[in-house]
Amino acid sequence: MTRVGALHADQAEMSDRPTGLPTSSSTLPGLIVRMLHLLDPDEQDHVLDVGTGSGYSAALLAHRLGDVQVTSVDVDPYLVDVARERLAGFGRTPHLEVADATGALPDTHYDRIIATVSVRPVPPTWLEALRPGGRIVATITGTSLLINAEKHPDGVVRGHVQPDPATFMRTRDQADYPPRLDHVYHAARDQQGTETRRLVGPIPDLWADWELRCLYELDSPDIENRSATRQDGSQLLWLLATDGSWARADSESRTVHQSGPRRLWDDLERVRDRWTAAGHFPLHTMTLELAADRNTLTSPEGSWTFEL
């Protein structure tokens, strides 16, 4: 992590205790290289790098393609300025610009778009700016789904989820992200729910079982989950929503408590049961279609479609 809330590590003192959420980080170099291999740009391609960050991906692209072929954008003016200085220090001068990449782009035509911030849906401006035959490599917000898709002559961008998971911070247009749902968690932590029923089966580990977590996020976006393990090994899982809905599953008491306008645990069970009935298909077998008015992910044989 290189930035928490509005405070960047370059500007922080040892005594600082910044509030807010992580808002910038240095991406694992191996992941950047893997994504660039998926992008597979030719020397004549004009590439948009979304999420300048440290400038690492822009540096690799500029070295491979030449400075004039690379445009890199970030919403954070400080990151853009420092990356520009850092790259110029070893002779690289790609075009760097401050921009909210979900809106207007610095140019209207690109052959390749790579993003180290996550999006949902893929912004229409990206789809419009991508030339036919062009390619997008990005991740879906709230999931670990890395996508690789190509623009076809009919204007639709089609592709697949990749086998290896990858997670990036979501796009933002403010200095920080909205705060976590602590107020909902305080209500859900140990209170009786308006509905209580018996827990059936084990509590899923939504961190380790990233495929189930991704399917649940695709089905029910923006559900915050928190977990805990007691000293005796029993587990707790909380599901929290912005509308005040919550669920708590407790493996010790074998109970599920739920409150609010939505039944979050029921949604999770429905997704898990449907995935089980579908044979736990690997997520990289899902196909992707991106159009200006509709983004979809579809399971094998077309039995399950998610709107992004």
144 part of the active site: no
For residue 254, the model assigns a pLDDT of 97
Residues 188 and 149 in one domain: no
Catalytic residue, candidates 26, 57, 253, 299: 26
For residue 102, the model assigns a pLDDT of 94
CB burial of 15-27 (b: ≥16 within 10 Å; e: otherwise) equals eeebeebebbeeb
Maximum CA extent, the chain: 64
What average pLDDT does the segment 155-174 reach?
A: 95
Residues 137 and 241 in one domain: no
The proportion of the chain whose per-residue pLDDT surpasses 70, expressed as a percent, equals 100
For residue 181, the model assigns a pLDDT of 97
**Residue at 144 is within a domain:** yes
What average pLDDT does the segment 171-198 reach?
A: 95
Q: How many domains does the chain have?
A: 2
For residue 267, the model assigns a pLDDT of 98
**Residue at 286 is within a domain:** no
**Residue at 168 is within a domain:** no
For residue 158, the model assigns a pLDDT of 98
What average pLDDT does the segment 169-196 reach?
A: 95
Residues 64 and 110 in one domain: yes
**Residue at 172 is within a domain:** no
Residues 17 and 151 in one domain: yes
Residues 253 and 203 in one domain: yes
Residues 49 and 154 in one domain: yes
- What would the two tokens of residue 49 be? 């790098």
Give pLDDT tens digits for 123-132: 999 999 999 9
CATH of the domain at 226: 3.30.160
Residues 155 and 213 in one domain: no
Domain boundary among 131, 161, 191: 161
**Residue at 294 is within a domain:** no
For residue 61, the model assigns a pLDDT of 98
Residues 140 and 243 in one domain: no
16, 32, 57, 263 from 78: Cα distances, Å:
19, 22, 17, 42
For residue 19, the model assigns a pLDDT of 87
Residue-range definition of the domain harbouring residue 81: 3-161
Residues 23 and 111 in one domain: yes
**Residue at 146 is within a domain:** yes
The band of 293, judged by pLDDT with boundaries at 50, 70 and 90, is very high
For residue 279, the model assigns a pLDDT of 94
Residues 142 and 191 in one domain: no
Residues 95 and 141 in one domain: yes
Q: Which long-range contacts (CB under 8 A, 24 or more apart) does 163-169 make?
A: 163/282, 163/284, 164/34, 165/210, 165/214, 166/31, 166/35, 166/139, 167/118, 167/139, 167/143, 168/27, 168/51, 168/115, 168/116, 168/117, 168/118, 168/139, 169/22, 169/23, 169/24, 169/25, 169/117, 169/118
Domain boundary among 130, 161, 192: 161
CATH of the domain at 37: 3.40.50.150
**Residue at 291 is within a domain:** no
The band of 204, judged by pLDDT with boundaries at 50, 70 and 90, is very high
Give pLDDT tens digits for 255-270: 999 999 999 999 999 9
Residues 34 and 135 in one domain: yes
d(CA 42, CA 69): 10
For residue 143, the model assigns a pLDDT of 97
**Residue at 141 is within a domain:** yes
Give pLDDT tens digits for 53-103: 999 999 999 999 999 999 999 999 999 999 999 999 999 999 999 999 999
